[in-house]
Homo-oligomer: A and B are copies of this chain.
């Protein structure tokens, strides 16, 4: 890959160059990693998009929502990128075709860029490739980057760490989908949107909205939460009801955080977090290669069985590494 040419192409809006670059950062091969770092170094750091994390389990209507939301933003003249964080094997149906078939209209829009789930990726490494894909989309000049997840494993935590706002999409209670929200996720949200507030489910959607509004009201406000946030709203991606209002709330929150310094603080904290995380991952991976890996696994199993205390097992492991 000609790094300099690719960097220029990305910045000039070349979608194929962006797609190739995202494929590059998804690769764990050492030569690809080296190129990825070179490419990131060649791209300007100043361009910031509004990064919106969106979590929603299968059945809440996430694709319909993203299409409606994306088309609304494009109609306002914005450029929108949509990234899926989970590997396709982790998503319902594991479709390699992915979301483009469910967001056909958005996929065709020149101002939109939709990246399907990586089909060959493992869950590990999801943090790095997601973070870097977001950075590439920002450098490519997209105004909004939507980072979506179905909520497997620790994906919401990863998404929250690479987003400016976190939105949780739910279906009205009483339907077929998984009941309730996974622990820890409700409290991450800046905005909870109850979808399908139309037709037969309209009343249920309003009740569900009220339930979540009540729960959010119990949370202590953090410094980065202005009056009225977090909040729960009912929307219909199908009819469009509530969509402009939800977007207005997101914009208002982003604007408030920019004005009050929380935007920069959060971005700085996230960057520092990833710096340390990257070091940790790299160090631990290199130190825990074979034959040490086998020793560690054996000690870990002994600890899990209750045959050996954790701190004693750790002392033995460190001794095996020539440390402690």
Within 8 A of B (CB), among A121-175: 128, 131-132, 135
- Count chain B CB atoms within 10 A of each CB in A36, A132, A279 and give the residue with the most: A279
Q: Report the copy number of this chain in the oligomer.
A: 2
Sort chain A's interface into a size bin: 35 or more
- In the complex, the chain B residue whose C-beta lies closest to that of A267 is B306
Most buried by B among A180, A287, A304: A304
Of B36, B135, B214, B268, the contact of A305 (CB 8 Å cutoff): B268
Instruction: Give the residue name and chain of the B residue nearest to A278 (CB).
Output: B314
| Chain A interface main SS type | helix
Q: Is the CB of A324 within 8 A of B179?
A: no
Measured CB to CB, the residues of A under 8 A from B are 36-37, 40-41, 45-46, 128, 131-132, 135, 178-184, 186-188, 211-212, 214-215, 217-222, 267-269, 271-272, 274-276, 278-280, 282-284, 286-287, 296, 299-300, 303-307, 309-315, 317-318, 321, 323-324
Contacts A268-B303, A282-B324 given; 14 further ones with Cβ under 8 A? A37-B311, A37-B312, A45-B307, A132-B311, A178-B220, A183-B187, A183-B188, A214-B215, A215-B218, A271-B309, A275-B313, A283-B283, A283-B318, A286-B323
A-B contact pairs, 20 of them (CB 8 A): A40-B309, A41-B309, A45-B307, A45-B309, A46-B306, A135-B309, A179-B221, A180-B219, A180-B220, A181-B219, A182-B220, A183-B220, A268-B304, A268-B305, A271-B304, A272-B300, A272-B303, A279-B318, A280-B280, A283-B318
